[in-house]
Structure 1
């Protein structure tokens, strides 16, 4: 994907997420890792009305070289790229949203090391995988970036690389090889959170045998 194509794709994905209610107001951001740096949506930009020419451009060291002022989350995105590419070198896009149903789940009491969701559906297991909940830190805090990087390293070392984390009270960060693939992961995560939040009583999760079958047939990383 060329830089020009990446700029257009970031804007297309932003419009799609905004139009369907996955992001609102100026919440959320999208970045793409280039061969020699990064593109990221500007600070306080609405993802539904992005201009390809005004996306922030940064060099490989994270120094801004063009566009509007970069989102403060670029530090977190760079930590995600650095950690995630150890287990998947094709990681090229990170999306962060304040998706309603994901955030709602973290407003309920939960254990310190709890994951956001159980193995609820086969497509959640195959397309998303484990989603660690990162304890609350203020937006842009270095501690949050460090905790996310540690979660990626720990899961990768266990042989179950992750594609998403959930920042408590803020929202999910998901990553993949293209903006379209990252958006699909985000969608599956948010819709599974919606299912879990609306289910009463709560359903049983998939069995160990069912999950093993998904590993064997589809390479699920669970």
Structure 2
């Protein structure tokens, strides 16, 4: 089995897992992995429940379409997440229903969109800011991510959905699931009066998880995909 074949199979399996959790309605959402000097990505207008490992889009690290079907229009969004950290090897973008609903609300704070109610999002993801709204595929959304001074591995996209990046595909999938579950709890308790985790609790959790909290973004890593942009 070649490295690229293995990467393609892992991407297809991860996409199917997300679809089976109800996090990719219809033909929404997209997923990519970095494999050496290439990106593999779900094609445009594809169902994450039924991807074919032999029919994935292949792109350069700067976003040039090299092979396979036409990629998702969200290529700029994925590249922006890869640029944030050269160690990231996977990006998941979903219109998961509860994250979409949370992204339609005002953020809890400038650096974290979802009220701090349960511990796992802090252990696995850290702060999740709200990125201003731009239409699907609009490169200005990627510009907004590039310009955001906060350190983050995942974000809510206002009135749109969520996006998560990580050093492994499994970690990116886990982050997306944790965001959806945090949104579920927050929306269930949206009538107010909930007991929130305090700052000491959160700082203890992010220290355990090695995740960012109230942190600014380090200098752009020049080795990151598309860093020449």
Fold conserved (TM > 0.5)? yes
CA drift at 1:57: 0.5
SS in 2 for 1:54: coil
Q: Structure 1 pair 112/181, CA: closer, same or farther in 2 (3 Å)?
A: closer
Question: Given the two structures, how large is their TM-score scaled by the length of structure 2?
Answer: 0.85
SS in 1 for 2:54: helix
Return 191-200 or 117-126, whichever deviates more.
117-126
CA drift at 1:213: 2.5
Q: Structure 1 pair 166/176, CA: closer, same or farther in 2 (3 Å)?
A: same
Q: Structure 1 pair 221/50, CA: closer, same or farther in 2 (3 Å)?
A: same
Contact 1:163 1:176 in 2 (8 A): yes
Q: 1:50 maps to what in 2?
A: 51
CA drift at 1:172: 0.4
Question: Given the two structures, how large is their TM-score scaled by the length of structure 1?
Answer: 0.88
Structure-1 separation of matches of 2:168 and 2:63? 20
1:197 pairs with 2:197: no
SS in 2 for 1:6: helix
Per-residue deviation, residues 151-188 of structure 1 (Å, max 9, x unmatched): 2xx12xxxxx3110111111001001222111111001
Per-residue deviation, residues 68-121 of structure 1 (Å, max 9, x unmatched): 111111122112211222xxxx21000000011111123235589473213222
Structure-2 separation of matches of 1:216 and 1:71? 36
Unaligned segments of structure 1, at least 5 residues: 156-160
Q: How many correspondences in the alignment?
A: 211
1:211 pairs with 2:175: no
Q: 2:77 maps to what in 1?
A: 76
Which of 159, 163, 175 pairs up with 2:153? 163
Q: Structure 1 pair 215/105, CA: closer, same or farther in 2 (3 Å)?
A: closer
Give 1:1-20 correspondences, 5 Å limit. Answer: 2-20=3-21
SS in 2 for 1:32: strand
Return 47-56 or 141-150, whichever deviates more.
141-150
Identify, as 1 or 2, the structure richer in helix.
Answer: 1
CA drift at 1:219: 3.2
CA RMSD of aligned residues (A): 1.9
